[in-house]
Amino acid sequence: MLRLAGGRSEERQMVEKKMAIYERALRHHPGSDTLLLALLHETGRVEDADTTIRAWRRTLGRHGGSVRLWRAYLSYRRGHFSTFSVASMRRICAEALQALGVERARRAAAGAPEEVVAEVAEGQLAVLMDLCELESGSGHTELMVARLQVS
Protein backbone atom coordinates (compact mmCIF):
# COMPACT_ATOMS: atom_id res chain seq x y z
CA MET A 1 0.00 0.00 0.00
CA LEU A 2 2.80 2.45 0.82
CA ARG A 3 4.45 1.64 -2.45
CA LEU A 4 1.33 2.66 -4.35
CA ALA A 5 1.01 5.85 -2.35
CA GLY A 6 4.70 6.61 -2.93
CA GLY A 7 4.30 5.90 -6.65
CA ARG A 8 1.39 8.32 -6.89
CA SER A 9 3.38 10.97 -5.04
CA GLU A 10 6.34 10.49 -7.40
CA GLU A 11 4.04 10.65 -10.40
CA ARG A 12 2.47 13.84 -9.08
CA GLN A 13 5.91 15.36 -8.56
CA MET A 14 6.88 14.43 -12.10
CA VAL A 15 3.70 16.00 -13.51
CA GLU A 16 4.21 19.15 -11.43
CA LYS A 17 7.79 19.39 -12.73
CA LYS A 18 6.48 19.11 -16.31
CA MET A 19 3.95 21.82 -15.54
CA ALA A 20 6.70 24.11 -14.24
CA ILE A 21 8.69 23.53 -17.43
CA TYR A 22 5.64 24.33 -19.58
CA GLU A 23 4.97 27.48 -17.56
CA ARG A 24 8.57 28.64 -18.08
CA ALA A 25 8.33 27.89 -21.80
CA LEU A 26 5.09 29.88 -21.98
CA ARG A 27 6.92 32.93 -20.63
CA HIS A 28 9.00 32.82 -23.82
CA HIS A 29 6.16 31.72 -26.14
CA PRO A 30 2.97 33.03 -24.50
CA GLY A 31 0.66 32.32 -27.44
CA SER A 32 1.77 28.75 -28.13
CA ASP A 33 -1.31 26.54 -28.38
CA THR A 34 0.90 23.45 -28.17
CA LEU A 35 2.41 24.53 -24.84
CA LEU A 36 -0.95 25.66 -23.46
CA LEU A 37 -2.57 22.35 -24.39
CA ALA A 38 0.29 20.38 -22.82
CA LEU A 39 0.03 22.41 -19.61
CA LEU A 40 -3.75 21.94 -19.46
CA HIS A 41 -3.37 18.21 -20.08
CA GLU A 42 -0.92 17.92 -17.19
CA THR A 43 -3.19 20.05 -15.01
CA GLY A 44 -5.96 17.54 -15.65
CA ARG A 45 -3.70 14.74 -14.45
CA VAL A 46 -3.14 16.21 -10.98
CA GLU A 47 -6.16 18.44 -10.32
CA ASP A 48 -9.84 17.67 -9.92
CA ALA A 49 -12.28 18.43 -12.73
CA ASP A 50 -13.46 21.77 -11.29
CA THR A 51 -9.92 23.10 -10.90
CA THR A 52 -9.00 21.91 -14.38
CA ILE A 53 -12.08 23.57 -15.85
CA ARG A 54 -11.13 26.84 -14.14
CA ALA A 55 -7.66 26.56 -15.70
CA TRP A 56 -9.27 26.00 -19.11
CA ARG A 57 -11.56 29.01 -18.61
CA ARG A 58 -8.66 31.28 -17.61
CA THR A 59 -6.68 30.13 -20.64
CA LEU A 60 -9.61 30.66 -23.01
CA GLY A 61 -10.18 34.09 -21.47
CA ARG A 62 -6.68 35.07 -22.57
CA HIS A 63 -6.55 33.08 -25.83
CA GLY A 64 -10.20 33.03 -26.90
CA GLY A 65 -9.36 33.36 -30.58
CA SER A 66 -7.70 29.96 -30.77
CA VAL A 67 -9.71 27.39 -32.68
CA ARG A 68 -7.41 24.66 -31.45
CA LEU A 69 -7.95 25.54 -27.78
CA TRP A 70 -11.74 25.75 -28.13
CA ARG A 71 -11.92 22.39 -29.92
CA ALA A 72 -9.72 20.78 -27.25
CA TYR A 73 -11.84 22.29 -24.47
CA LEU A 74 -15.03 20.98 -26.04
CA SER A 75 -13.44 17.56 -26.32
CA TYR A 76 -12.30 17.71 -22.68
CA ARG A 77 -15.79 18.64 -21.48
CA ARG A 78 -17.44 15.90 -23.57
CA GLY A 79 -15.07 13.34 -22.07
CA HIS A 80 -15.65 14.22 -18.41
CA PHE A 81 -19.06 12.96 -17.49
CA SER A 82 -18.97 14.32 -13.97
CA THR A 83 -19.20 17.87 -15.37
CA PHE A 84 -21.03 17.11 -18.63
CA SER A 85 -24.51 18.36 -19.41
CA VAL A 86 -26.17 19.24 -22.68
CA ALA A 87 -27.04 22.69 -21.34
CA SER A 88 -23.43 23.44 -20.36
CA MET A 89 -22.18 22.21 -23.73
CA ARG A 90 -24.66 24.47 -25.51
CA ARG A 91 -23.39 27.41 -23.48
CA ILE A 92 -19.75 26.56 -24.17
CA CYS A 93 -20.39 26.16 -27.90
CA ALA A 94 -22.14 29.54 -27.94
CA GLU A 95 -19.16 31.11 -26.16
CA ALA A 96 -16.76 29.48 -28.62
CA LEU A 97 -18.76 30.66 -31.63
CA GLN A 98 -18.88 34.20 -30.21
CA ALA A 99 -15.15 34.32 -29.38
CA LEU A 100 -14.16 32.88 -32.74
CA GLY A 101 -16.47 35.33 -34.51
CA VAL A 102 -14.70 38.20 -32.75
CA GLU A 103 -11.33 36.72 -33.73
CA ARG A 104 -12.38 36.30 -37.35
CA ALA A 105 -13.55 39.93 -37.49
CA ARG A 106 -10.32 41.10 -35.81
CA ARG A 107 -8.17 39.25 -38.31
CA ALA A 108 -10.21 40.50 -41.26
CA ALA A 109 -10.00 44.10 -40.00
CA ALA A 110 -6.24 43.73 -39.53
CA GLY A 111 -5.91 42.76 -43.19
CA ALA A 112 -4.87 39.16 -42.54
CA PRO A 113 -4.64 36.92 -45.61
CA GLU A 114 -7.90 35.32 -46.64
CA GLU A 115 -6.59 31.85 -45.72
CA VAL A 116 -5.99 32.99 -42.12
CA VAL A 117 -9.49 34.42 -41.81
CA ALA A 118 -10.94 31.30 -43.45
CA GLU A 119 -9.14 29.11 -40.92
CA VAL A 120 -11.09 30.74 -38.08
CA ALA A 121 -14.34 30.50 -40.07
CA GLU A 122 -13.69 26.78 -40.57
CA GLY A 123 -13.15 26.48 -36.82
CA GLN A 124 -16.51 28.15 -36.22
CA LEU A 125 -18.10 25.69 -38.61
CA ALA A 126 -16.47 22.76 -36.77
CA VAL A 127 -17.84 24.05 -33.45
CA LEU A 128 -21.29 24.45 -35.01
CA MET A 129 -21.14 20.87 -36.30
CA ASP A 130 -20.10 19.67 -32.83
CA LEU A 131 -23.12 21.48 -31.42
CA CYS A 132 -25.41 19.93 -34.03
CA GLU A 133 -24.01 16.48 -33.26
CA LEU A 134 -24.72 17.12 -29.57
CA GLU A 135 -28.29 18.21 -30.31
CA SER A 136 -28.91 15.22 -32.54
CA GLY A 137 -27.37 12.79 -30.08
CA SER A 138 -29.47 14.14 -27.23
CA GLY A 139 -32.69 13.73 -29.20
CA HIS A 140 -33.14 17.36 -30.22
CA THR A 141 -33.19 16.84 -33.97
CA GLU A 142 -35.53 19.78 -34.60
CA LEU A 143 -33.23 22.09 -32.68
CA MET A 144 -30.27 20.80 -34.67
CA VAL A 145 -32.04 21.55 -37.96
CA ALA A 146 -33.05 25.00 -36.70
CA ARG A 147 -29.44 25.78 -35.76
CA LEU A 148 -28.29 24.79 -39.23
CA GLN A 149 -30.99 26.87 -40.88
CA VAL A 150 -30.10 29.96 -38.84
CA SER A 151 -26.40 29.62 -39.63
Q: Would you say residue 121 lies in a domain? A: yes
- What 3-state class would DSSP assign to 142? helix
Q: Report yes or no on 140 lying in a domain.
A: yes
In a domain, 141, yes or no: yes
Residue 6 confidence class, pLDDT cut points 50, 70, 90: low
- pTM (two decimals): 0.87
Determine which helix (DSSP H) or strand (DSSP E) holds 108, and give its type and residue range: helix 86-109
pLDDT for residue 83 = 85
pLDDT digits (tens, 9 = 90+) for 57-71: 999 999 999 999 999
Q: Would you state the pLDDT for residue 1?
A: 26
Q: Is residue 59 part of a domain?
A: no
Residue 7, pLDDT above cutoff 70: no
Structural domain of 121: 71-151
The CA-atom distances, in angstroms, between 108 and each of 63, 66, 75, 121 are 18, 15, 28, 11
Q: Is there a domain that residue 37 lies in?
A: no
pLDDT single digits (tens) 98-118: 999 999 999 999 999 999 999
Residue 82 included in any domain: yes
How many domains, in total, are found in the chain?
1
